[in-house]
Amino acid sequence: MSQLSSELPAFPMSKAKGCPLDPPPEYAQLRSDRPVAKARLWDGKEVWLITGYDEIRSIFTDPRISVDNTQPGYPWLSEQARTVVLTGGVKPVGRMDPPEHTAMRRMLGQGFLVKKIQNMRGDVEALVNELIDDILAGPRPTDLVPSLAMPVPSTALGWVLGVPPADKRLISLVPRLFDEDSGLEGAMEARAELFAYIDELITHRENQPGDDIISHLVGYYQKGELSRVSVLTQSVTLIAAALDTTRSMITNGILALLQHPEQAAALIEDPDLVPAAVEELLRYTVVTEFSSKRVAAADIEIAGETIKAGDGIICLISAGNRDEKVFTDPDTLDVRRDAKQHLGFGAGIHTCIGKQLARMELEVVYGTLFRRIPELRLAVPFDQLVFRNTFDVQGVRALPVTW
Regarding pTM above 0.85, the answer is yes
Residues 6+ apart with CB under 8 A from 95: 67, 68, 69, 70
Question: pLDDT for 86-121, tens place per residue?
Answer: 666 678 898 999 999 999 999 998 889 889 999 999
Return the pLDDT at 178: 63
Return the pLDDT at 2: 44
* Cα 77 from Cα 248, distance rounded (Å): 20
* Cα 282 from Cα 344, distance rounded (Å): 6
Query: Average pLDDT, whole number, for the chain?
Result: 90
What percentage of the chain carries pLDDT values higher than 90?
69
Pairing state of beta strands 293-296 and 312-315?
Answer: antiparallel
The mean-pLDDT minimum among 105-114, 118-127, 277-286 falls in 105-114
* Cα 363 from Cα 156, distance rounded (Å): 14
Q: Quick one: 90 exposed, middle or buried, by C-beta within 10 A (0-12, 13-18, 19+)?
A: middle
Return the pLDDT at 77: 85
* Cα 49 from Cα 28, distance rounded (Å): 12
The mean-pLDDT minimum among 211-220, 244-253, 383-392 falls in 383-392
Q: What is the mean pLDDT of residues 176-200?
A: 77
Question: pLDDT for 28-84, tens place per residue?
Answer: 999 999 999 999 999 999 999 999 999 999 999 999 999 999 999 999 988 767 776
Return the pLDDT at 14: 87
Q: Reading across the β-sheet that carries 142-143, which strands appear in turn?
A: 142-143, 400-402, 377-378
Residues 6+ apart with CB under 8 A from 391: 12, 77, 78, 81, 289, 290
**pLDDT of 164 above 80:** no
Return the pLDDT at 180: 62
Residues 6+ apart with CB under 8 A from 380: 141, 400
Give me the CATH topology for the region 5-402. Cytochrome p450 (1.10.630)
Closest by Cα among 321, 291, 303 to 38:
303
Query: Which of the two residues, 174 and 96, has the higher pLDDT score?
Result: 96
Query: Which of the two residues, 228 and 240, has the higher pLDDT score?
Result: 228
Beta carbons of 391 and 286 less than 8 angstroms apart: no
**pLDDT of 166 above 70:** no
**pLDDT of 1 above 70:** no
**pLDDT of 7 above 90:** no
Return the pLDDT at 19: 82
Beta carbons of 123 and 384 less than 8 angstroms apart: no
Q: How confident is the model at residue 299 (pLDDT cuts 50, 70, 90)?
A: very high
Q: What is the mean pLDDT of residues 175-180?
A: 65
Beta carbons of 297 and 356 less than 8 angstroms apart: no
Return the pLDDT at 181: 66
293: which strand partners? Answer: 314
Query: Which of the two residues, 237 and 1, has the higher pLDDT score?
Result: 237
Q: What is the mean pLDDT of residues 381-387?
A: 92
